[in-house]
């Protein structure tokens, strides 16, 4: 059964919870371990490895598990990934030390690599065709809440006890979400598989219907990663208190989380086309980074995070909805896994670009990212109009 035939109101709450779990697991643990690495016995080198392992696992495994979701259906991949994430987190309650923390983080990343793209594919399959962007907006909003609230919730849990309690909470969340997905989310039968060759794969990942939205999504992730990692450094360089810089990061995540459902709903209502939304989103990001790069101050820092939050909210649900509308049904999981791979790449490239260019001048690094986002705006203007797209570009 799919929501194309059950359009009255699919029960997607457990899928939103899965999005929250992966975001909370990524940011909550990273922030807490980063702040307490000395107490946990981690050197800076081990801390860097610990932080990288989650993303490394996702970069390698997301397309693999996306393809598996196409073969057996997304639901068992989501449940299995959540259970694996839960077991990995549970290990953190009983073992410690640098080696075991690294193993736990790698296993958590592997679990998230399974249920994250499979959840996106399930949203695409279960959402009514005319409301796909709306449901992706809600899904993205819950992930945004996890990214924004993860460090705060993680810190509060550790204040009550220690990092073992945080791992225990993550384990219970993962197990409860797996149970909810198994018993509350409709079964999704895999589509009959068509013969696929290497040439078919190359054509699919180089087609504008895939490449353009993935570039747009990567730009949004790169912007979030760049601001999260580098805005506090810019603030310190210009004399802004660290508390204000971190507050700006929270504003970014909250803005994106609050606006994504609205942006998706407006897209489905035909208020703007997918091309218009992706162009407006990338333009807002470009303006944000050029502004804070040319005129760094507290005012422009907060203006930049608001513009970036708006831009990410505009482009994310629409880009995912476009991928869902244009992907072959039997390759939807692979499409979402590859799109998630693009986002992870952007998340890594954003801070690297600013750091590299910023060796000469940190504000120049932000302005340089703005130029890159302007190039992404040109790419967004090439987004094809899928059948049934509303509005006009």
Domains of the chain: 13-184 (1.20.1250.20), 199-380 (1.20.1250.20)
Angle between helices 13-35 and 132-160 in degrees, nearest 10? 40
pLDDT tens per residue, range 28-76: 777 666 666 667 666 656 666 666 778 778 888 888 888 898 889 899 9
Report d(CA 290, CA 73) in Å as an integer. 44
Report d(CA 352, CA 346) in Å as an integer. 10
Write down the pLDDT at residue 195: 61
Q: Average pLDDT, stretch 260-276?
A: 90
pLDDT tens per residue, range 211-240: 899 999 999 988 988 887 788 888 888 888
| Stated pTM of the model | 0.79
Share of the chain above pLDDT 90, in %: 36
Q: How is residue 179 written in tokens?
A: 């149970």
Q: Average pLDDT, stretch 2-9?
A: 46
Alpha carbon separation from 218 to 295, 303, 380 (Å, rounded) = 25, 21, 12
> Would you say residue 309 has pLDDT above 90?
yes
Q: Residues in the chain, how many?
A: 393
pLDDT tens per residue, range 70-109: 889 899 999 999 999 999 999 989 987 778 888 888 899 9
> Would you say residue 293 has pLDDT above 90?
yes
């Amino acid at each position: 059964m799919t929501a194309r035939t059950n359009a009255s109101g699919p029960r997607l709450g457990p899928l939103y919870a899965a999005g929250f779990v992966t975001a909370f697991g990524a940011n909550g643990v990273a922030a807490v371990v980063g702040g307490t690495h000395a107490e946990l016995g981690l050197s800076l080198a081990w801390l860097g490895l610990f932080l990288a392992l989650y993303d490394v696992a996702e970069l390698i495994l997301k397309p693999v598990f996306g393809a598996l979701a196409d073969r057996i259906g997304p639901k068992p991949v989501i449940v299995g990934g959540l259970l694996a994430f839960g077991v990995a987190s549970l290990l953190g309650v009983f073992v410690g030390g640098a080696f075991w923390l690294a193993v736990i983080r790698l296993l958590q990343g592997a679990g998230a690599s399974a249920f994250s793209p499979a959840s996106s594919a399930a949203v695409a399959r279960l959402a009514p065709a005319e409301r796909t962007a709306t449901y992706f907006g809600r899904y993205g909003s819950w992930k945004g809440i996890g990214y924004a609230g993860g460090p705060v919730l993680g810190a509060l849990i550790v204040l009550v006890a220690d990092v073992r309690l945080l791992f225990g909470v993550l384990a219970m969340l993962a197990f409860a979400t797996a149970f909810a997905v198994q018993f509350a989310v409709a079964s999704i039968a895999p589509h009959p598989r068509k013969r696929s060759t290497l040439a078919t794969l190359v054509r699919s990942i180089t087609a504008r219907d895939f490449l353009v939205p993935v570039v747009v999504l990567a730009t949004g992730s790169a912007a979030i990663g760049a601001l999260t990692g580098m805005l506090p450094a810019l603030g310190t360089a210009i004399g802004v208190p660290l508390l204000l810089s971190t507050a700006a990061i929270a504003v970014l995540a909250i803005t994106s989380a609050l606006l994504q459902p609205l942006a998706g709903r407006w897209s489905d209502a035909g208020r703007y086309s997918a091309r218009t939304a992706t162009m407006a989103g990338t333009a807002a990001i470009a303006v944000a980074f050029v502004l804070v790069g040319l005129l760094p101050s507290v005012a422009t820092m907060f203006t930049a995070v608001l513009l970036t939050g708006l831009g990410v909210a505009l482009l994310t649900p629409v880009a995912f909805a476009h991928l869902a509308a244009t992907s072959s049904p039997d390759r939807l999981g692979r499409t979402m896994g590859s799109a998630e791979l693009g986002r992870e790449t952007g998340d890594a490239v954003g801070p690297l670009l600013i750091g590299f260019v910023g060796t000469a001048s940190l504000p120049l690094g932000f302005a340089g990212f703005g130029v890159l986002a302007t190039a992404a705006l040109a790419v967004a203007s090439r987004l094809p109009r899928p059948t049934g797209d509303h509005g006009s570009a």
